[in-house]
Chain A
Amino acid sequence: MRNPQLNGDGTLQHLLTIEGLPREVVVHILDTAASFIGVTEREVKKVPLLRGKSVFNLFFEPSTRTRTTFEIAAKRLSADVINLNIAASSSTKGETLLDTVDNLSAMHADMFVVRHSSSGAAHLIASHVASHVHVINAGDGRHAHPTQGLLDIYTIRHYKKDFARLSVAIVGDVLHSRVARSLIHALTTLGAPDVRVIGPRTLLPTGVEQLGVSVHHDMREGLAGCDVVMMLRLQNERMKGPLLPSAQEFFKSYGLTSAKLALAKPDAIVMHPGPMNRGVEIDSSVADGPHSVILPQVTFGIAVRMAVMSILAGN
């Protein structure tokens, strides 16, 4: 089956998931992002690539960081940005997703950035819009959050340079995490040899090994000698039923403390997609400590989203 996010000539038409993206497309995005880092340090932090284009941020699910960084990225590319918080709008009046999209397309949208609680929402929109319109998935249900996965590997590449001998541990609520899924696909695409997922049985998806990762239930064992620790947010709002005894209990087994981090390599970096639950999945001393690259992740996220938008708009 044809990859719905690629054009006939193998270039990117939409960004829906990292799964199945050719390695060279991923590397092109990362390299382009590196060039945008310089732009954000200049007197004028804008380039004219998307001048005259309209980018619609369609957020059917609340988000501050992702929506804001997409907005900043689009503005630094000189696009006009329209933010729509749909949760408080048409869908509550009964309009369907595709009717909303049709109406916005009639307002000459060039790009949609879509966040939705249903897996596949961005795919549905991508298969519906006209051929000059581009769609970026900004998180769909438990499925994928590709720009987050890309900014995560951008961050890893920035600090670790090479993926060839890298050990990466992903810790916590993998079951509900589209961030984890996107990062795993990105890491395997770039050839990271050792990716570990760490968490309680109830929060790891069955068959996760099939993604090419090793599974650990003991956090100390899983962290031993790793280069990168990616902590996931405990997604209270997605939790259904008694998957966990309590947040305190979770912190004891799977919270990242300085003592547990000491088991990783001395120069290990600690990442978190945000927003953090301090004292639930990560201790403040680690979140604010010298190994933490959580705030640089946010800054890199702008450059990565600029890269994705400009590559899509040019294809």
Chain B
Amino acid sequence: MNLPDAEALCKELASKLRAGVSESTGLVGIRTGGAWLAERLHRELGLATPMGSLDISFYRDDFDSAGLRHQVKPSQIPFDVNGRHIVVVDDVLYTGRTVRAAMNELFDYGRPGKIELAALVDRGERQLPIAAQYVGATLSVPAGKLLRLARDERGKFSLRLSDAKPAA
């Protein structure tokens, strides 16, 4: 299938976000694709608050079946979460389970004032009542396919489609 240009979607997402953020907004990217994206958006929007990143491995709801196999990196939230407007950033929004895990983790840092969600691509098929306020594009992707953001050595974004690994 034809995939949209990730760089163009990123510009689109940045312009939508610009109206919704302020100096004190904290951008939090979900590793790895979401963290790359948050890094770029943070730079383009010129936000004063440093960006954060989350590795949600310790909060996944499939831990009992999938375990802790891949490399976990430390989460970093370099600002006070309490009362703050936070925008969680992910590359692809799908079932909503990752976003739930990210929100659970955020609440262990404090009580955010407001959490919003930005995604480069919304592929639908939600399994939880979660919606994104800022979306680059909506896209229909066959089940069983994995859609994710890739970043080349020069930092250029592209979307990649592959066969999802069967659940362990």
Interface range on chain B: under 10, 10 to 19, 20 to 34, or 35 or more? Answer: 20 to 34
Tell whether, in the assembled complex, residue B76 and residue A38 are in contact, meaning their CB atoms are under 8 Å apart.
yes
On chain A, the residues within 8 Å of B73 by CB distance are 35
- Kindly state the separation between the CA atoms of A55 and B27 in the bound complex, as whole angstroms: 37
Tell whether, in the assembled complex, residue B55 and residue A44 are in contact, meaning their CB atoms are under 8 Å apart.
no
Tell whether, in the assembled complex, residue B108 and residue A310 are in contact, meaning their CB atoms are under 8 Å apart.
no
Given contacts A38-B76, A43-B108, A47-B108, contact A314 B66 (CB under 8 A): yes
User: Quick check: is B74 within 8 A (CB to CB) of the other chain?
Assistant: yes
Query: Residue on A with the closest CB to B65?
Result: A314
One of A26-34, A87-95, A159-167, A191-199 at the interface: A26-34
Given contacts A35-B58, A43-B109, A314-B69, contact A48 B74 (CB under 8 A): no
- Kindly state the separation between the CA atoms of A250 and B33 in the bound complex, as whole angstroms: 58
User: Quick check: is B63 within 8 A (CB to CB) of the other chain?
Assistant: yes
Distance of A50 from chain B, by nearest CB (Å):
9
Tell whether, in the assembled complex, residue B74 and residue A32 are in contact, meaning their CB atoms are under 8 Å apart.
no
Tell whether, in the assembled complex, residue A44 and residue B109 are in contact, meaning their CB atoms are under 8 Å apart.
yes
For the residues of A in contact with B, the DSSP-based class is helix
Tell whether, in the assembled complex, residue A31 and residue B71 are in contact, meaning their CB atoms are under 8 Å apart.
yes
A residues 34-51 touching B (CB-CB < 8 Å): 34-35, 37-39, 42-44, 46-49
User: Quick check: is B75 within 8 A (CB to CB) of the other chain?
Assistant: yes
User: Quick check: is A11 within 8 A (CB to CB) of the other chain?
Assistant: yes
User: Quick check: is B4 within 8 A (CB to CB) of the other chain?
Assistant: no
Query: Residue on A with the closest CB to B60?
Result: A49
Given contacts A39-B58, A48-B104, contact A311 B68 (CB under 8 A): yes
User: Quick check: is A285 within 8 A (CB to CB) of the other chain?
Assistant: no
Tell whether, in the assembled complex, residue B63 and residue A314 are in contact, meaning their CB atoms are under 8 Å apart.
yes
Among B58, B67, B76, which residue has its beta carbon within 8 angstroms of that of A48?
Answer: B58
Distance of B66 from chain A, by nearest CB (Å):
7
B residues 67-106 touching A (CB-CB < 8 Å): 67-69, 71-76, 104-105
B residues 26-53 touching A (CB-CB < 8 Å): none
On chain A, the residues within 8 Å of B57 by CB distance are 35
Given contacts A44-B108, A46-B108, A48-B58, contact A37 B74 (CB under 8 A): yes
Q: Of B63, B64, B69, which is in contact with the most chain A CB atoms at under 10 Å from its CB?
A: B63
7 closest pairs, A vs B, by CB? A314-B67, A44-B108, A47-B58, A38-B74, A314-B68, A35-B72, A35-B74
List residues of chain B with CB under 8 Å of any chain A CB: 55, 57-59, 63-64, 66-69, 71-76, 104-105, 107-110
